Amino acid sequence: MSKSVEKMIDVEELFASIQDKKRGRIRKPVNFPDSASGKLPLGMIVLVLLIATLGTMVVALKSEITSLKTEITDLRKTQAQLSAKDTELKLASIESKLEQTDGDKEKLKGDIAQIKNYLEELKPVKVEKKRFAMRAVSSGSLKE
């Protein structure tokens, strides 16, 4: 009897499918996957693309960091050169000021020598005036 029941179920299913075909409906078995397992391939693709994008960004960032490091070392070298040149310029400025003061010193020595010569020339005149004044005083005191 079990065989006849199974056969009956099969016959009924066949009869129902024939009627559905006549009506234009086709029965398709619907296999809905679980929500997590159905989205898993799409999620994996997105995750792989995201990881690949992040990887390329890391590589690009690494190259940028390397270029920045080289630029920083170049700037430090330039700074060292500028500080050396700045020191040289300061030394040159100090040397020129020393030369200028040496020239001023020589000029002042010349001026002092001229003043001494002028004073030496004035000494006899001063002595003569004193003598004249002394004569005037001595001759004036006699007349009075």
Domain that holds residue 65: 2-26+42-143
Mean pLDDT, range 75-93, rounded to an integer: 88
Q: What is the pLDDT of residues 55-74, one digit of tens each?
A: 999 999 999 999 999 999 99
Does the pTM surpass 0.75? The reply is: no
In a domain, 37, yes or no: no
**Total of domains in the chain:** 1
In a domain, 33, yes or no: no
Q: What is the pLDDT of residues 28-42, one digit of tens each?
A: 554 444 555 555 788
In a domain, 56, yes or no: yes
Label residues 61-83 b or e (16+ Cβ within 10 Å = b): eeeeeeeeeeeeeeeeeeeeeee
Question: Tokens 């700037």 identify what position?
Answer: 75
Question: Tokens 């066949």 identify what position?
Answer: 14
In a domain, 110, yes or no: yes
In a domain, 36, yes or no: no
